[in-house]
Structure 1
Amino acid sequence: MVSALIDTDERFLAILDRLSEKAVDDYYNPYRVFQWPDTLPEAMWWMSPELTTTYGTAAAERMSREQLYALSKYESINFYSLNVHGIRELLIEVTKRIHTSGFETPSQFFHHFIGEENEHMWFFAEFCLRYGRKLYRQMPGASVSIPSNKVESTLVFARILIFEELVDYFNSKMATDDRLHETIRHINRIHHQDESRHIAFGRELVDILFTDVKKTATAEELREIEAYIKRYMVYSFESLFNPKVYRDAGVEDPQGLRRELLSSPGRPGFEQRVFRKTLKYLEKTGIIGDRTLSPL
């Protein structure tokens, strides 16, 4: 029983108390903390160039500096749009579980989590609508839906953790990149501050949930969990490669560029860098047997 595992795990309970206290101590009003300039310069990096999907590829060599700036602008709008969609999904799933059987103990932290994520969704959407005049739609993918069975909660919180760790990889780098406008550094810095707590909580909860699943799961069911998790990781990574971004940046063949970039020699290394900590954690926990990821 999950609740029994949670209620008797002294490490988890101590972490839960510490993270809840820190959430209170670090609280800020997002509607007051941000100063939004009317415009941001077009001739600048809107995302650290090393994080853009064309970095280090033959495609980047064919582009002018102005084209790369434009690409970084729309890639940043896509990245923050992905945050909005991902946060909306995780809020639905966490809200469904708050104060329900099995999740009584972490519900206090869920309140902080829900409040903070709602505010994150607001400031990411605000950035997109102010400076991009749009939110990019979520790309379709085979692993979007979550199976409704006994491993549902494990998959839900594993997905939330994967999403948060992917986002935090970008946040932590852009938060300190002085090539970026202070507004961009600020939203990444603020989000990284909150996500560090959410990731710490998520890792502990996923470990407990998976420990419970392993008690009754068959070998085949465990293989299915691993396959699902890896599909979701690849889907999340490939969502960064949005053909609508390339179209808005002036690329003549956006679908062709996406195919080129996803099959480029640098793609596996980029993917492994983004998920390095996540894959290490998932392997250590036993959720995956190795760190290989295959394109969808």
Structure 2
Amino acid sequence: MPMPSVNTPSTGPAGTTAGDDTEFRTLLDRLSDKATADYYNPFTTFDWPPTIPADGLWMSPELLSVHGTGLMDELSPAQLQALGRWESVNFYSLNVHGIRELLIEVTRRIHTTGFELPSEFFHHFIGEENDHMWFFATFCLKYADKIYPDRTVKLPEAPRAQDVENFLVFARILIFEQIVDHYNVHLAADQRLHPTVRHINRLHHQDESRHIAFGCRLVQLLWERLLDRGLNEADRLDLRDYLGRYLTTSMESFYSPAVYRDAGLMDGFALRRRLLAHPARQAAHAKVLHKTTDFLHRIGVFDARH
């Protein structure tokens, strides 16, 4: 079931009313103007140094997957530096893969029925995300000589109605961007890190702040449209379960046996299981995800059980 076109007299994009249409247009115009004002050429913005010292911090210790656990105290400073270096590369690798996926999904929808209104902003979005993928990939290849492969296990999903699929696509994009932005904000402000690391994260946060503002509004509109057309309880539970699993797997992607191996830590799979079960790590996940889960509760996607 396609989304109503903005040309439909009674409804606007994502099934919005005329009043919502005006509000959404105003937001899109403001974000597009800001994107134009903030535009930079990534190919000339970065002054890539030949190397980034291996004996410095590439990742804030507070963001390491071992933070808050006994292992943090067991590792030597050199081991923590190595772990931070490879977890940094993993973080940027996750960005490369996540951006590739969201670019595919947004490109599928640009200038299609129901997405007429946001398509102008989609052009800014696609261009900026392509730039992001380039500078994250460049960092990985230049300073680590590799991009970690995408290990995400994509389970077969039952076919869903198009409006449900649209909602899930943009909910996944928003979740991905808010998780990444949590790291960006911290890394950009951490004076202990190399200037190139701070620069990448500062620029990414600058753009993502617009994408997140857009994503929050679009996801809310798509959710309201599902409710307006009569989303049944079984489908609501399915969506809640799907997004809950997506939140969990997104955080689990920060625990990489390949990273632990490259950092010289033994038995990466056992270490991953140990860390994921640690209460301190679960608390850390909740901190990273709180903006997302608060938003999903506020618009009614999640309830008290989540």
The two structures have a TM-score, normalised by structure 1, of 0.95
Match in the other structure for 2:8: none
> How far does residue 148 in structure 1 lie from its aligned partner after superposition?
4.1
Match in the other structure for 2:25: 13
Instruction: Report the Cα distance in structure 2 between the residues aligned to 1:144 and 1:181, rounded to whole angstroms.
Output: 41
Instruction: Report the Cα distance in structure 2 between the residues aligned to 1:117 and 1:185, rounded to whole angstroms.
Output: 18
Match in the other structure for 1:41: 53
Q: Is the alpha carbon distance of 1:291 and 1:111 closer, same or farther for their aligned partners in structure 2, counting shifts above 3 Å?
A: farther
Q: Is the alpha carbon distance of 1:291 and 1:272 closer, same or farther for their aligned partners in structure 2, counting shifts above 3 Å?
A: farther
1:128 to 140, 147, 161: 140
Structure 2 counterparts to residues 55-204 of structure 1, below 5 A? 55-142=67-154, 147-150=159-162, 151-204=164-217
Supply the RMSD in Å over aligned alpha carbons. Answer: 1.5
| Residue 234, structure 1, aligned to residue 248, structure 2 | yes
**Secondary structure, aligned partner of 1:103:** coil
Instruction: Report the Cα distance in structure 2 between the residues aligned to 1:124 and 1:144, rounded to whole angstroms.
Output: 29
Match in the other structure for 1:251: 265
**Secondary structure, aligned partner of 2:57:** coil
> How far does residue 138 in structure 1 lie from its aligned partner after superposition?
1.4
Any idea what the Cα deviations from partners look like across 1:175-215, whole Å, max 9, x if unmatched? 01000000000000000000000000000000000111112
Structure 2 counterparts to residues 22-41 of structure 1, below 5 A? 22-41=34-53
**Secondary structure, aligned partner of 1:275:** helix
Instruction: Report the Cα distance in structure 2 between the residues aligned to 1:271 and 1:56, rounded to whole angstroms.
Output: 12
Q: Unaligned 5+ residue runs, structure 1?
A: none
**Secondary structure, aligned partner of 1:217:** coil
Identify the range of structure 1 (187-196 vs 4-13) with the bigger mean alpha-carbon deviation: 4-13
Match in the other structure for 2:301: 287
Q: Unaligned 5+ residue runs, structure 2?
A: 6-10
Any idea what the Cα deviations from partners look like across 1:154-173, whole Å, max 9, x if unmatched? 00000000000000000011
Any idea what the Cα deviations from partners look like across 1:248-279, whole Å, max 9, x if unmatched? 00011111110110011212211110011111
Instruction: Report the Cα distance in structure 2 between the residues aligned to 1:50 and 1:146, rounded to whole angstroms.
Output: 39
Q: Name the aligned partner's letter for residue 156 of structure 1.
A: V
Q: Is the alpha carbon distance of 1:62 and 1:232 closer, same or farther for their aligned partners in structure 2, counting shifts above 3 Å?
A: same
- Aligned residue pairs, count: 292
Q: Name the aligned partner's letter for residue 221 of structure 1.
A: D
Instruction: Report the Cα distance in structure 1 between the residues aligned to 2:142 and 2:23, rounded to whole angstroms.
Output: 43
Any idea what the Cα deviations from partners look like across 1:119-175, whole Å, max 9, x if unmatched? 000000000001111101112335686954230000000000000000000001110
Kept in 1: contact 2:4–2:113 (CA 8 A): no
Kept in 2: contact 1:146–1:155 (CA 8 A): no
Q: Name the aligned partner's letter for residue 195 of structure 1.
A: E
Kept in 1: contact 2:240–2:301 (CA 8 A): yes
Q: Percent identity?
A: 53
Any idea what the Cα deviations from partners look like across 1:220-273, whole Å, max 9, x if unmatched? 101100110111011100000011000000011111110110011212211110
Instruction: Report the Cα distance in structure 1 between the residues aligned to 2:167 and 2:4, rounded to whole angstroms.
Output: 10
Instruction: Report the Cα distance in structure 2 between the residues aligned to 1:283 and 1:224, rounded to whole angstroms.
Output: 16
**Secondary structure, aligned partner of 2:12:** helix
